[in-house]
Structure 1
Amino acid sequence: MSDRFELSERATKKVFKRLVPFLLLMYVIAFLDRSNVSFAQEEFEVDFGISAAAYALGAGLFFVGYAIFEIPSNLLLHRVGARWWLARIMVSWGIVSSLFVFVQGPVSFYILRLLLGITEAGFFPGVILYLTYWVPARHLSRARGYFYMGIALAGMIGNPLSGGLLELNGVANLRGIQWMFLVEGVLAIAVGVWSYFFLTDRPRNATWLPDDERTALADTVEQEDNTKAAGEGPQKVLLALANWRIWYFAALYFCIQIAVYGMTFFLPTQVTKITGQELGFAAALVTAIPWVFGLASVAFFPGLADRTRRHRTIGTVLLLVTAVGIFLSGLLSGTPVLAIAGLALAAIGFVAVQPIFWTLPTEYLTGYAAAAGIGLINSLGNLGGFLAPIMRSSFDDSVGGNAGLNALALGAVAAAALLALTTFFPKANDIETGAAETMVPRSR
């Protein structure tokens, strides 16, 4: 094993200790601020006449603004640097999130959800891109897995926080939901300001790494970029956006997000129906249970996929587990323990599969093409978050029973089929066998 490889490995361990936990904190707050409206659904309907259909539309509008500005935001991040741009994104969405204090009806709700999506656009794909600047390919699934813990931690910590803030109803003449939006928005602003001083744009700028480790890590990542640039992946922005594989990955991610947000935006109300509790701190603790299992899952399966080189197989199984869990949560709704177990099964699948998914598209792209391609996949894919709440509400109203949940389960099945079919992608097979990793030189 070469000296450079050993130095690069030591530097990577320090990246995991310094940068990854902070990015995780940022994602916890991001997911919390985009999904905390689920705790306001009932009060919005009672106080402001925001019906279930209007709530579903407003919840989904976030992803419209998100999709429109995703690619330009990611291109700007690649150009001006992640430190400044991620800080700008976070402060902006924190301000908009705080403004939900002033929601008075459907129109103001729609406008603020759209603005929240616009201001948060570029955060997630920006971090996915940022990790490729810092983490060698052999560790990327694990790094993304830690980052994706933000979804589970937002549910475990954020849901009880939101539920607890609801119980401040009447303090300083503010309703509980106003306290929730205000506190969680200010939290985003504070961490956004902190991120500007804490993050570093590239390994060569990392004064917190010893000189030899900094150089070795930068050389390793740059060599991997050069290897991808010499391969079959599209290098230029327009070629990346026109490449059929990018659109295929976007369709796959779209189906995954149908399951993710179809569950997330309705989880608190679904849990209260299952358990018969009122929405508050106690019910929020129950909503945290599926996320505990999701956290354990994302801590285990992405690393397993990297070690075994079975990203496609493990990801496909996880998506089928998601579908089964969603279906069972509706079928067994009359038995609270089993219904919550179904929700936990769904969380195990859809939380862990997402970092595994990103292993495939990021192997095809580098430079500005990566910024554009990742942005396109995430923006179009996240439109599944726009469709999911509307689809679930529509099926529930028109068909009844568990039709809405079953539609979400079918979305997970479709994603499993699309992921399985990547067996026809040559580079996807290289990743599975480990050949893609051996293409990257490890020594001078």
Structure 2
Amino acid sequence: MNTDIEARVSRKLMWRIIPFVMLLYFISFLDRVNVGFAAITMNKDLGLSPTAFGLGGGLFFIGYFLFEVPSNLILHKVGARIWIARVMVTWGLISAISAFATGPNSFYVLRFLLGVAEAGFFPGIILYLSLWFPAKQRAVAAAWFMAAAPISVALGSPLSGAIMQLPPMFGLADWQMLYIIEAAPAVVLGFVVLKFLTDKPEQAHWLADDERAWLVARLKSEADAKKGGHGHTASAWSALKDLRVLALALIYFGTSAGLYTLGLWAPLMIREFGFTPFQTGLLTGVPSVVAVVAMVLWARHSDRSGERTWHVVIPCVLACVGFLLAGNATTALFVVLSLVVVNVGISSAKAPLWAMPSTFLSGAGAAAGIAMINSLGNLGGFVGPFAIGWLKNSTGSYTAGLYVVAATLALSAVVTLMLSRQTRQHAGVAKPSHGA
């Protein structure tokens, strides 16, 4: 009987929650990285050098970093429905206003404010999934949610490229139209969130009574077991001081440096080979299609085996190798193939990584800890793009910057192994840990 209920609940959770949060993240990621396509003509219009563009692209993550933990704690208090709606409406409005940047300084300010507005969205959804999905389904649930990022690149890149080729309308440049058109869905979906999202399982009237009771009991049982376990953290302050949280943030730093290097610089790297904006969009999207398949299959394997450490280490090493290859690429085909390797590695590492915090965090501790991991880790989204721009300006080549990003992913792999070893020794377990 329990097996039947579990199957039914799992199916309903996947169909009710995952497609919707994927759509939200699709729009979120599109509005973060469409600046890479806007840059094709915007940089000249605003007088942005490669260093200035890299700085502006990265300032998003400074605003994100400063407001991430407070935002997620507010979400924990007021519920995901109200707070995610607020986040989406404000980031949509600021993304649209970005169309009216007039120079480097206004570009910097708007990128910073976009980060402030969006702070709390990604860790909020990760926290939300942990409140709905039993432990053995979390990596797959997170993988499907995070698949929206490579899907956004795969579908959004050709779309952005096509918008950039539209004729001027209403006196707006192509990059201005790109910002406005792609910002509108965020505002609309913000109001849809208020109607569609359910804060917690106890309120899930779209589940049958027996299904809702089973899910609430299962999640409570897991929470109680976790509280009785070694090293459990439930308070916000304790989570912020937990070395495991800081280690996971450092691991996430490398994957974020890689992800946003791709988002901001891949279109410009490919464009150098003489492609049109639309062709650039198609080629930028190819690696992401492969990444979606890889990350879901890898997360499923991680959930079935219960192993997390090597499911993070191997993809990080793969992405590191991909960036080293991209740094030596001399043809468009070589660049695209290298980016396939990078995309697969970065995307595959994320779901097993995000399954780790919920093994030792709960309540306000989970809200604060997940936000801290994401906010500190996302500083990689500042360092990676800025390093690429600064070194491109200094050397005239992408190679040195790509090597720097590769080094951050190598560090992620090493820290993951160190964290696993420390956790096993601390718990007195001889065999590899299944968690963080």
CA deviation vs aligned residue, 1:12-41 (integer Å, no higher than 9, x gap): 210101111100000010011011100122
Match of residue 394, structure 1, among 381, 390, 394 = 390
Partner of 2:420: 423
Match of residue 313, structure 2, among 316, 321, 328 = 316
RMSD over aligned CA atoms reads 1.8
Q: 1:408 to 1:434 in 2, by over 3 A?
A: closer
Match of residue 327, structure 2, among 308, 324, 330 = 330
Looking at structure 2, the residues matched to 194 and 349 of structure 1 have their Cα atoms a distance apart, in angstroms, of 33
Looking at structure 2, the residues matched to 302 and 382 of structure 1 have their Cα atoms a distance apart, in angstroms, of 21
Match of residue 189, structure 2, among 163, 174, 191 = 191
Partner of 2:302: 305
Looking at structure 1, the residues matched to 116 and 428 of structure 2 have their Cα atoms a distance apart, in angstroms, of 36
Q: 1:319 to 1:206 in 2, by over 3 A?
A: same
Give the fraction of aligned pairs with identical amino acids, expressed as a percent: 36
Q: 1:351 to 1:70 in 2, by over 3 A?
A: same
Answer whether contact 1:66 1:120 (CA < 8 A) is retained: yes
Partner of 1:291: 288
TM-score by length of 1: 0.93
SS of the residue aligned with 1:167? coil
SS of the residue aligned with 1:135? coil
Looking at structure 2, the residues matched to 380 and 127 of structure 1 have their Cα atoms a distance apart, in angstroms, of 17
Match of residue 78, structure 1, among 57, 67, 76 = 76
Q: How many angstroms does 1:165 deviate by?
A: 1.1
CA deviation vs aligned residue, 1:85-131 (integer Å, no higher than 9, x gap): 11111111001111011111011111111110001000000000000
Structure 1: 5+ residue runs without aligned partners? 437-444
Partner of 1:267: 266
Q: 1:237 to 1:417 in 2, by over 3 A?
A: same
Q: Give the letter for the 2:314 counterpart.
A: V
Count of aligned pairs: 430
TM-score by length of 2: 0.95
Looking at structure 2, the residues matched to 156 and 290 of structure 1 have their Cα atoms a distance apart, in angstroms, of 8
| 1:7-406 map, 5 Å | 7-231=5-229, 232-273=231-272, 275-278=273-276, 280-332=277-329, 334-399=330-395, 401=397, 402-406=399-403
CA deviation vs aligned residue, 1:242-269 (integer Å, no higher than 9, x gap): 1111111111111221111122210100
**1:409 and 2:396 matched:** no
Q: Give the letter for the 1:266 counterpart.
A: W
Looking at structure 2, the residues matched to 230 and 54 of structure 1 have their Cα atoms a distance apart, in angstroms, of 51
Answer whether contact 1:293 1:344 (CA < 8 A) is retained: yes
Answer whether contact 2:51 2:393 (CA < 8 A) is retained: no
Looking at structure 2, the residues matched to 54 and 429 of structure 1 have their Cα atoms a distance apart, in angstroms, of 50
Answer whether contact 2:93 2:187 (CA < 8 A) is retained: yes
Answer whether contact 2:53 2:389 (CA < 8 A) is retained: no
Answer whether contact 1:168 1:175 (CA < 8 A) is retained: no
Answer whether contact 1:5 1:216 (CA < 8 A) is retained: no
Q: How many angstroms does 1:360 deviate by?
A: 1.4
Q: Give the letter for the 1:354 counterpart.
A: K
CA deviation vs aligned residue, 1:256-302 (integer Å, no higher than 9, x gap): 211111222101001112x3213x22221111111111111112111
Q: 1:433 to 1:216 in 2, by over 3 A?
A: farther
CA deviation vs aligned residue, 1:229-254 (integer Å, no higher than 9, x gap): 22222211111111111111111111
Quick check: 87-96 or 232-241, which moved more?
232-241
CA deviation vs aligned residue, 1:346-367 (integer Å, no higher than 9, x gap): 1000011111111212211000
Answer whether contact 1:12 1:217 (CA < 8 A) is retained: no
Structure 2: 5+ residue runs without aligned partners? none
Q: 1:428 to 1:56 in 2, by over 3 A?
A: farther
Q: How many angstroms does 1:395 deviate by?
A: 2.7
SS of the residue aligned with 1:173? coil
Looking at structure 1, the residues matched to 417 and 396 of structure 2 have their Cα atoms a distance apart, in angstroms, of 32
Q: How many angstroms does 1:435 deviate by?
A: 7.2
Q: How many angstroms does 1:308 deviate by?
A: 2.0
Q: Give the letter for the 2:249 counterpart.
A: A
